[in-house]
């Protein structure tokens, strides 16, 4: 109707009206585009989500009844994730403020770490503490101070612990597994008639040296982890009586002891001890430690009546070392497969 | 068209302009209102922390010192106290996030023991439980069958947990 009646002035108004309306439509369109762009590029939801995800994960890890290692399989590589003051804070580099959510520690201090664009987020709980790292190969045994006493007390846990302690004493983890297998079948409850207790059948109520892990006095009869460390310590000390034990260069003989011979005369580590004393079996390398762990067997009971070491006795004491070595073959690579490069 | 007429025409369009702005802002507001940037995980967190009480040797789970292992679901009677609970779940210096009330009863209903986690929180939020909006609090009642270990004796029992988180 309007178009039918419009004159020149009306036509100009109409054009102006269209221009203004087009301008308004353009404004609306631009605003909507900006909104869509903002929604598309915004990471507020992701940051909120990740903060809650990590906080709940931490709470779960803290709730673990035993040591646990958990590798987060989601993707947080676009963000900076900080764990501080019982908060998980997630932000992008361009952000000044983080999205955060709280988590509860277990009374031994909260996890503290900042991970920048982490490909992996790894949570390791031990002894009420949680370590957060971006290294998927991180192992609770070697990160940080303190004793990881909460490893599971099943066979796998015992094996992991042996593999973890052995390198501290510079002895092979797989060999220590074999020794523990020979001594107790890797059982923490093993008791024997000669008073041997636990994994390494230790009879000492206290170990000679303090723990290399945390400096504590070891109580091998009271704690299976102390039993393991004490057993490995005893083996190391038995090995150290011969300077070449670890290198394989050392040699040590179990001699045929006569009742009149002294102990020192019986144990020889050079050919110089020959002469009137008869050499029986020669041990080299770690076999010296193994034989020493079981006892050299040059006792009066074994050496009387003459001949002091019968072939049967020799075979019996030698069978121990050979038995451990046989087990060792079966344990080759076990420490590595358990994630502990013993 | 005269300049004055143009000015008049533009002035007449101002209400239309404001109306358009109003429409744009309304759309923006409505879109943003219905877009969620948050995930409410409070129910999950309450459930998780209640389970933590039973699983963690730092909380209530019985721990065998000789074997060095925890027994999830076996409640150590010596640990059922506020001091233990407040030390095993720590939200930092001040806990404005979660409170729990725990009561253990035998299967026939005989009360065994009670304890609270975050006593000030319980006092502050319990009266406002299930009220909507700021100042209110949400809660979750949970029941777990447990073994209650007291002086070496193990008693089948039920643990009721009331967890409260402020809005």
pLDDT for position B98? 94
For residues A245-268, give the mean pLDDT.
Answer: 60
Q: Are residues B20 and B101 both part of a single domain?
A: no
pLDDT for position B51? 94
Q: Are residues B114 and B74 both part of a single domain?
A: yes
Q: Are residues B33 and B93 both part of a single domain?
A: no
Task: Measure in Å the smallest separation between the Cα of B69 and chain A Cα atoms.
Answer: 6
Q: Are residues B28 and B107 both part of a single domain?
A: no
Q: Are residues B48 and B122 both part of a single domain?
A: yes
**B1, B35, B88 member nearest A106 (Cβ):** B88
Question: Is there a contact between B52 and A62 if contact means CB atoms under 8 Å apart?
Answer: yes
Q: Are residues B14 and B51 both part of a single domain?
A: no
pLDDT at residue B87 is higher than 50: yes
Q: What percent of chain A is modeled with pLDDT above 70? A: 74
For residues A56-80, give the mean pLDDT.
Answer: 88
Question: Tens digits of per-residue pLDDT, B46-57?
Answer: 999 999 999 999
**Position A190 confidence tier, pLDDT thresholds 50, 70, 90:** confident
pLDDT for position A304? 44
Of B68 and A320, which is predicted with more confidence?
A320
What pTM was computed for the model?
0.57
For residues B51-74, give the mean pLDDT.
Answer: 86
Of A306 and A86, which is predicted with more confidence?
A86
Number of neighbouring beta carbons within 10 Å of residue B123: 11
Range of the structural domain that residue B51 is part of: 42-166
Q: Are residues B117 and B101 both part of a single domain?
A: yes
For residues A253-278, give the mean pLDDT.
Answer: 51
Q: Are residues B52 and B116 both part of a single domain?
A: yes
Q: Give the CATH fold of the A156-342 domain.
A: Lysozyme (1.10.530)
The answer to whether A322 and A156 have CB atoms below 8 angstroms apart is no
Q: How far is A97 from A118, CA to CA, in rounded Å?
A: 19
The verdict on whether omega for the bond into residue A88 sits within 30 degrees of 0, i.e. cis, is no
Query: Which H or E element spans position A131?
Result: strand A129-133
Question: Is there a contact between B39 and A9 if contact means CB atoms under 8 Å apart?
Answer: no
Q: Are residues B98 and B16 both part of a single domain?
A: no
Q: Which of A16-25, A85-94, A227-236 has the lowest mean pLDDT?
A: A16-25
Q: Are residues B48 and B25 both part of a single domain?
A: no
**Selection from A31-35, A66-70, A151-155, B80-84 with the highest mean pLDDT:** B80-84
pLDDT at residue A99 is higher than 60: yes
Helices within B56-128 (DSSP H only)? 82-88, 119-125
At how many degrees (to 10) do helices A311-331 and A173-184 cross? 130
pLDDT for position B49? 94
The answer to whether B100 and B88 have CB atoms below 8 angstroms apart is no
pLDDT for position B16? 78
Of B60 and A212, which is predicted with more confidence?
B60
Task: Measure in Å the smallest separation between the Cα of A66 and chain B Cα atoms.
Answer: 7
Q: Are residues B28 and B56 both part of a single domain?
A: no
pLDDT for position A267? 52
Q: How far is CA A11 from the centre of its chain?
A: 85
Question: Is there a contact between A28 and B23 if contact means CB atoms under 8 Å apart?
Answer: yes
Task: Measure in Å the smallest separation between the Cα of A209 and chain B Cα atoms.
Answer: 21
Q: What is the ipTM of this complex?
A: 0.85
Q: How far is CA B99 from the centre of its chain?
A: 8
Mean pLDDT in chain A? 77
Parallel, antiparallel, or unpaired for β B137-150 and A113-116?
A: unpaired
Question: Tens digits of per-residue pLDDT, A219-236?
Answer: 888 888 889 999 999 999
Of A176 and A157, which is predicted with more confidence?
A176
Question: Is there a contact between A63 and B51 if contact means CB atoms under 8 Å apart?
Answer: yes
For residues B102-112, give the mean pLDDT.
Answer: 93
What does the domain layout of chain A look like in residue ranges? 2-41, 45-133, 156-342
Radius of gyration of chain B, Cα coordinates, nearest whole angstrom = 28
Q: For A92, phi and psi rounded to 5 degrees?
A: -95, 165
Q: How many domains does chain B have?
A: 2
Where residue A185 falls (left for φ over 0; alpha for ψ -120 to 50; beta otherwise) is: left
Q: Are residues B17 and B94 both part of a single domain?
A: no
pLDDT at residue B30 is higher than 60: yes
Radius of gyration of chain A, Cα coordinates, nearest whole angstrom = 35
Question: Tens digits of per-residue pLDDT, A278-327?
Answer: 455 667 888 888 888 887 655 444 444 443 455 565 666 677 888 898 88
User: Which of A291, A178, A194 is CA-nearest to residue A234?
Assistant: A291
Helices within chain B (DSSP H only)? 3-34, 42-55, 82-88, 119-125
pLDDT for position B138? 92
Question: Is there a contact between B61 and A65 if contact means CB atoms under 8 Å apart?
Answer: yes
């Amino acid at each position: 109707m309007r178009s039918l009646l419009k004159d020149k002035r009306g036509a100009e108004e109409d054009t102006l009206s269209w221009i203004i309306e087009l301008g308004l439509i353009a404004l609306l369109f631009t605003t909507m585009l900006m909104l869509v762009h903002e929604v598309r590029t915004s990471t507020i939801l992701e940051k909120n989500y990740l903060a809650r995800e990590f906080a709940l994960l931490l709470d779960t890890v803290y709730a673990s009844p035993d040591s646990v290692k958990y590798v987060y399989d989601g993707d947080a590589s676009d963000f900076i994730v900080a764990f501080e003051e019982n908060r998980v804070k997630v932000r992008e580099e361009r952000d000044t403020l983080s999205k955060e959510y709280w988590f509860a520690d277990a009374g031994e201090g909260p996890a503290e770490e900042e991970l920048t664009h982490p490909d992996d987020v790894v949570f390791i709980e031990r002894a009420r503490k949680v370590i957060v790292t971006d290294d998927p190969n991180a192992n609770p045994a070697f990160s940080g101070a303190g004793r990881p006493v909460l490893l599971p007390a099943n066979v796998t846990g015992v094996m992991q612990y042996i593999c973890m302690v052995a390198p501290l004493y510079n002895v092979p983890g797989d060999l220590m597994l074999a020794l523990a297998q020979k001594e107790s079948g890797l059982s923490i409850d093993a008791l024997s008639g000669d008073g041997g207790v636990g994994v390494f059948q230790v009879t000492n109520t206290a170990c000679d040296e303090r723990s290399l892990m945390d400096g504590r006095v070891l109580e091998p009869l009271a704690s299976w982890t102390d039993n393991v460390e004490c057993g490995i310590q005893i083996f190391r000390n038995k090995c150290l009586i011969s300077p070449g034990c670890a290198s394989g260069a050392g040699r040590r003989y179990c001699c045929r002891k006569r009742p009149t011979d002294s102990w020192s005369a019986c144990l020889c580590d050079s050919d110089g001890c020959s002469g009137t004393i008869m050499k029986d079996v020669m041990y080299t390398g770690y076999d010296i430690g193994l034989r020493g762990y079981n006892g050299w067997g040059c006792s009066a009971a074994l050496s009387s009546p003459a001949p002091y070491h019968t072939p049967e006795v020799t075979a019996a004491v030698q069978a121990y070392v050979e038995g451990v070595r046989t087990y060792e073959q079966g344990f080759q690579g076990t420490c590595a497969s358990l994630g502990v490069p013993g | 068209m005269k300049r004055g007429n143009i000015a008049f025409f533009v002035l007449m369009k101002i209400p239309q302009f404001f109306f358009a702005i109003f429409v744009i802002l309304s759309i923006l507001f409505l879109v943003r209102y219905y877009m969620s940037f948050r995930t409410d995980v409070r129910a999950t967190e309450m459930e998780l922390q209640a389970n933590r009480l039973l699983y963690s040797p730092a909380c209530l789970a019985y721990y065998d010192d000789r074997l060095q292992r925890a027994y999830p679901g076996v409640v150590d009677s010596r640990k059922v106290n506020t001091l233990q609970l407040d030390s095993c779940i720590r939200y930092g210096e001040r806990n404005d996030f979660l409170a729990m009330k725990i009561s253990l009863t035998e299967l026939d209903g005989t009360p065994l023991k009670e304890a609270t986690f975050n006593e000030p929180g319980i006092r502050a939020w319990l009266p406002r439980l299930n009220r909507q909006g700021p100042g209110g609090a949400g809660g979750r009642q949970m029941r777990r069958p447990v073994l209650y270990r007291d002086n070496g004796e193990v008693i089948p029992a039920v643990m009721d947990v009331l967890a409260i988180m402020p809005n």
